[in-house]
């Protein structure tokens, strides 16, 4: 039976993936901030979700009030941020279009009122 803990190599790979994803997400949001709509005035909007592949396991979702990082691993999906309130159906549909694995972890880096 496999232990649920990561070995040192797996942990370093996981942390490296998070760092790459966060760096790419920050760079993409900084460079595309004029093109991507931010703020509460867009809550609940039914717009399209733009999917941008950053690496084999890291994808950025945009167009839901900000950027969302989706990191797919062997056991599930790590999602960084969830978008504005009211955009959950679009986000879930986009994630389900990427993989059949479930979102096992959600890290929200900030909140919307």
Look up residue 41 and give its DSSP letter.
Answer: G
pLDDT (0 to 100) of residue 79: 95
Cα dihedral 39, 72, 20, 53 in deg (nearest 10): -70
Q: What is the average pLDDT across 63-90?
A: 90
Whose tokens are 């167009």? That residue is 63
Whole-angstrom CA distances from 96 to 16, 32, 77, 103 are 24, 25, 10, 9
* Global pTM value: 0.59
Domain-by-domain residue ranges, the chain? 8-107
Place of tokens 């004029």: 34
> Which residues are bridge partners to 69 per DSSP?
60, 80
Specify the pLDDT at position 92.
92
């Amino acid at each position: 039976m496999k232990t649920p803990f990561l070995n040192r190599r797996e942990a370093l790979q996981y942390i490296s993936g998070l760092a790459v994803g966060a760096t790419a997400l920050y760079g993409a949001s900084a460079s595309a901030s004029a093109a991507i709509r931010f703020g509460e005035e867009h809550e609940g909007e039914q717009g399209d979700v733009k999917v941008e592949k950053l690496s084999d396991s890291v994808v950025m979702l945009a167009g839901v009030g900000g950027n969302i990082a989706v990191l797919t691993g062997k056991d599930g999906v790590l999602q960084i941020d969830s978008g504005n309130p009211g955009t959950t159906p679009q986000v879930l549909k986009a994630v389900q279009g990427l993989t059949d694995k479930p979102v096992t972890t959600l890290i929200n880096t900030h909140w919307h009122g």
